[in-house]
Amino acid sequence: MFKNNQLTSDDHYEHRTRVEDCVNGLHEYSGALGILASLVTEIEEYAVYYAGILVAKDVESDEWHAAVIEYETKRTALIDAISDARWMVKSILEDPVFPESTKDLLRGHFNIDEKLSVKYETVRTAGEAILLGQAKLEELDSEWVLPDDLVTRIENALAAFVAARTTADTEKLEKLNAMDVIYEARENGHRLLRKVYRWVIANWGDDDERLFAFGFVPKSAIWTEGDPEPGAPEWPVHPEAADFAANYLGEGFVELVYSKVTGAVKARLRRRLVDGVADWEIVFDGLPMGGEEHLPFRERDVPPGKWEYEFVSYNEAVEPSEPAYATVIVPEEIPA
């Protein structure tokens, strides 16, 4: 049983249950209530559709999590191979047997003192640097080069690492797209549930126990903690577009400034490259918008390029505002 009638507080699975309950209630009472057959059909079709896209979302989420695990496994393998190569180079540099000319070549082509983090670009660049250094040593007919089996190991690990990242990025995008489908569908689902609720309470009032059969809660049975929550899903104020701006602060930080929006309870922020990849990336989705003041949102480690940001706010019925847009340029060389 639900605690209240706040439709937007339901998670995606609770929403499915509430819709299924509503369909069952319509099957039992639509004749007595005189509910339009077209409305019954519409919510029946929505229940089937929503259940299907929820399964699809779960599949995409599982595939993304599996891709992330595979990516982390490939990253570990590449880091291990790079570490082995760096250890060998460092051993040669510390060995008095080898001449300084050989050591100078190694110092010039293997940056073994560079910190190796887990960031994708850092790991990929480090792997490529080992291979480029090896090629240069061979070209200069160096007295010492890395063993062939280790070079092959790095080549294979690097290729697998890059491929795993591509797969993970693809799966993430598919998961986000599936989430967008869910959010868009729920806007329609909330609209249908509100129609049924209003029809029912117009006939029976808002405290009839038969509301339970539709997935709703009678007024006297609404669960409260502290301040009472409103029982009826009211038709909220439709939010307007926010005043919105994006500013580059340096060192990879972008500041997003947005205004207070009347009727808005949460917001979504997306971004995409103006030149190059055109797909939207979610920055945040569901950020609360209550209160009188709104501090700027700061995003860190934004990659170089010209970025377009889209800000959309939602009211309690998950009805979106008109989107607001802002662009910002993050330079290639981030100042120290």
Are 294 and 165 in the same domain? no
CA proximity to 85, closest of 150, 135, 141: 150
Q: Does residue 81 sit within a domain?
A: yes
CA proximity to 127, closest of 170, 98, 91, 84: 84
Gyration radius of the chain's alpha carbons: 29
Listed in sequence order, the DSSP H helices in the chain are 12-33, 37-94, 100-109, 120-139, 148-204
Domain boundary among 224, 255, 287: 224
Q: Are 43 and 199 in contact (CB under 8 A)?
A: no
CA proximity to 29, closest of 218, 206, 194, 199: 199
Say how far apart CA 150 and CA 94 lie, in whole Å.
Answer: 20
Are 62 and 166 in the same domain? yes
Q: Does residue 235 sit within a domain?
A: no
Are 131 and 262 in the same domain? no
- Position 205 scores a pLDDT of 92
Q: Are 78 and 55 in contact (CB under 8 A)?
A: no
Q: Are 3 and 223 in contact (CB under 8 A)?
A: yes
Q: Are 271 and 298 in contact (CB under 8 A)?
A: no
Q: Does residue 140 sit within a domain?
A: yes
Q: Read off the tokens for 72.
A: 């982390």
Are 196 and 270 in the same domain? no
Q: Specify the CATH number for the domain of residue 279.
A: 2.60.40.10
Are 211 and 269 in the same domain? no
Are 211 and 262 in the same domain? no
Q: Does residue 237 sit within a domain?
A: no
- 26-49 residue pLDDT tens: 999 999 999 989 999 999 999 999
Are 72 and 195 in the same domain? yes
Are 99 and 210 in the same domain? yes
**Domains in the chain, number:** 2
Q: Does residue 229 sit within a domain?
A: no
Say how far apart CA 312 and CA 323 lie, in whole Å.
Answer: 5
Tell me the one-letter amino acid at 282.
I
Say how far apart CA 139 and CA 100 lie, in whole Å.
Answer: 18
Q: Which residues fall within 8 angstroms of residue 19, CB to CB, at 6 or more apart?
A: 43, 46, 47, 50, 189, 192, 193, 215
Are 45 and 137 in the same domain? yes
Global pTM?
0.58
Q: 168-188 as b/e, with b when 16 or more CB fall inside 10 Å?
A: bbebbbbbbebbbbbeebbee
Exposure of 172 in the CB half-sphere (CA atoms within 13 A)? 14
Range of the domain at 302: 244-330
Q: Does residue 184 sit within a domain?
A: yes
Say how far apart CA 58 and CA 62 lie, in whole Å.
Answer: 6
**pLDDT 10s digit of each residue in the chain, 336 long?**
678 888 887 888 999 999 999 999 999 999 999 998 999 999 999 999 999 999 998 999 899 889 989 999 999 999 999 999 988 888 888 888 777 877 777 777 777 777 777 889 889 988 998 898 888 888 878 778 899 999 999 999 999 999 999 999 999 889 889 888 998 999 999 999 999 999 999 999 999 999 999 999 998 888 655 544 444 444 445 455 557 788 888 878 888 887 767 777 788 889 988 876 567 888 888 777 654 445 567 888 888 888 888 888 887 767 777 788 888 988 875 443
Q: Does residue 192 sit within a domain?
A: yes
Are 60 and 190 in the same domain? yes
Q: Does residue 139 sit within a domain?
A: yes
Beta pairing partners, 272? 308
- 172-192 residue pLDDT tens: 889 889 888 998 999 999 999
Are 180 and 292 in the same domain? no
